[in-house]
């Protein structure tokens, strides 16, 4: 027996941006970990492929598919704009944006966001929402945590970022920030899916079947409990 798995159909190179807990982050051992990382590894096992995780900027994931990476899993929301370039698997998680504000802030509803300095992660749906807010001055950071740091420095008035990471950051800065739910701001639900090379229906079918099997056999629920609801 050599090294590697017994019957591998090759290697799936998976792009992510490992600065988005609990979906992807760098674990204590220095390797990418998180819900998405565990999910794609479980998918890899189902379809008999070795999974190699490639950590990169979120904003370059979509354009790297079919080049540096085969697919991307990164808490990535299905959007029409992205669908011009890539296909998506079946959605695997429903999310929504949240607003991180300084503790005791008067920001409460959509109207209060007008004319504010808003921090976001570059190339994310949080940025696309902020760009539409009247009079907003948007600062886009490579990592969402850098936006949160600038909130703590007073350089931005609030941060718009996906709910689950917002809650993790909120816990890290529990003394200084509050996390407000997207429903207070009429934000639309978003659906995370794996971004795939356009037109590769064979790979899409394999991955979608694997997701369906993982949902059926309890693996999916186990990973939600382990990474998201712990």
We find the least distance from the C-beta atom of residue 5 to ligand ARG, in angstroms, to be 26
Instruction: Say how far apart CA 194 and CA 14 lie, in whole Å.
Output: 10
Q: Taking a C-beta distance cutoff of 8 angstroms, is the pair 122, 141 a contact? A: yes
- Beta carbon of residue 137, minimum distance to ligand ARG (angstroms, whole number): 20
CB of 133 to ligand ARG, least distance (A): 16
**Residue 152 CB neighbour total at 10 angstroms:** 15
Closest distance of CB 79 from ligand ARG, Å: 7
Residue 50 or 55: which CB sits closer to ligand ARG? Answer: 55
Contacts with ligand ARG, residue ranges (CB under 6 A): 17, 19-20, 24, 58, 74-77, 121, 124-125, 162, 190
Write down the least CB distance from residue 83 to ligand ARG, Å: 12
Are 129 and 187 a contacting pair, CB within 8 Å? yes
44 or 75: CB nearest ligand ARG = 75
112 or 162: whose CB is closer to ligand ARG? 162
Nearest approach in angstroms of CB 120 to ligand ARG is 9
For residue 18, CA distances in Å to 35, 41, 97, 100, 226 come to 11, 15, 18, 20, 18
Pick the closer one to ligand ARG by CB: 9 or 34.
34
d(CA 48, CA 6) in angstroms, rounded, equals 9
Q: Using the minimum distance from each CB to ligand ARG, give the nearer residue, 44 or 126.
A: 126
By beta-carbon proximity to ligand ARG, the closer residue of 60 and 209 is: 60
Q: Is residue 54 packed enough to be buried (19+ CB in 10 Å), middle (13-18) or exposed (0-12)?
A: middle
Peptide linkage before 22 cis (omega within 30 of 0): yes
Alpha-carbon distance of 99 to 127, in angstroms, equals: 12
- β-bridge pairing 97-102 and 177-180: antiparallel
């Amino acid at each position: 027996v050599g090294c590697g798995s017994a019957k591998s159909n090759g290697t799936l190179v998976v792009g992510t941006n490992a600065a988005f807990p609990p979906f992807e982050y760098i674990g204590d051992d220095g390797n990418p970990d998180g819900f998405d990382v565990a999910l794609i590894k479980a998918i890899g096992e189902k379809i008999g492929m070795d999974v190699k995780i490639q950590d990169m900027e979120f904003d370059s994931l979509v354009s790297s598919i079919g080049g540096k990476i085969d697919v991307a899993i990164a808490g990535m929301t299905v959007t029409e704009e992205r669908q011009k370039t890539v296909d998506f698997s079946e959605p695997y998680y429903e999310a929504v944006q949240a607003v991180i504000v300084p503790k005791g802030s008067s920001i409460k509803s959509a109207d209060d966001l007008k004319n504010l300095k808003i921090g976001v992660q570059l190339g994310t749906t949080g940025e696309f929402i902020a760009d539409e807010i009247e009079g907003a001055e948007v600062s886009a950071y490579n990592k969402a945590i850098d936006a949160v740091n600038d909130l703590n420095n007073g350089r931005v008035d609030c941060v718009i970022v996906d709910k689950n990471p917002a809650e993790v950051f909120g816990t890290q800065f529990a003394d200084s920030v509050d996390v407000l739910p997207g429903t207070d701001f009429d934000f639309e639900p978003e659906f995370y899916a794996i971004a795939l090379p356009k037109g590769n229906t064979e790979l899409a079918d394999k991955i979608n079947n694997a997701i369906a099997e993982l949902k059926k056999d309890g693996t999916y629920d186990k990973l939600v409990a382990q990474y998201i609801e712990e």
